[in-house]
Amino acid sequence: MKYSDYIFANTNNLTVNPKSPYDFTLDVTVNRIPVFNPTGPGLVRVTMELTNESEETQDIVVILAAYDKNGSMINAKGQFTYFPRYFNRRVAPGASVEITTMFSLYMKSVKAFACDGTSLENSTLTPKTPVVQVLRLLDR
């Protein structure tokens, strides 16, 4: 998923190239992991690749969060299931970082996004990426 960097609008010989509202791109890959218990919910491996599209080194907090059926973020704890999860990284201009994690398929809705800062405590929660739907399962 990538926001277009070049959207052109011409007004009275003025060309405007608005910058993406986000400093990072976020690509997510999800793979189901075979488990030994065929009656269990299974596991998924999520790889998130973030690329710094800005011209300065930035500290970011990547958030992987679970949501209930009403769209509210939830806390969840269990084997391979604890949400929300936070990962902090410092990323140089033009550089990419990759974060890989696993969780149980008990979660029905999981989203990923990044904000500014080195931790949630010092973040202003300014978004650095769009929110990406990582997993969405219908009621079973």
Q: Which two tokens stand for residue 39?
A: 């009656």
Exposure string over 47-70, b if 16+ CB within 10 A, otherwise e:
ebebbbbeeeebebbbbbbbbeee
The better pLDDT of the pair 15, 60 is held by 60
Instruction: Render the burial of 30-46: b for 16+ CB within 10 Å, e for the rest.
Output: eeeeeeeeeeeeebbeb
pLDDT tens-digit map of 1-52: 333 333 333 334 434 344 458 999 999 998 888 766 666 667 888 899 999 9
Global pTM value: 0.75
Domain boundaries, the chain: 22-136
Spatial neighbors of 56 by CB under 8 A, at least 6 apart, are: 93
CATH superfamily for 22-136 is ApaG domain (2.60.40.1470)
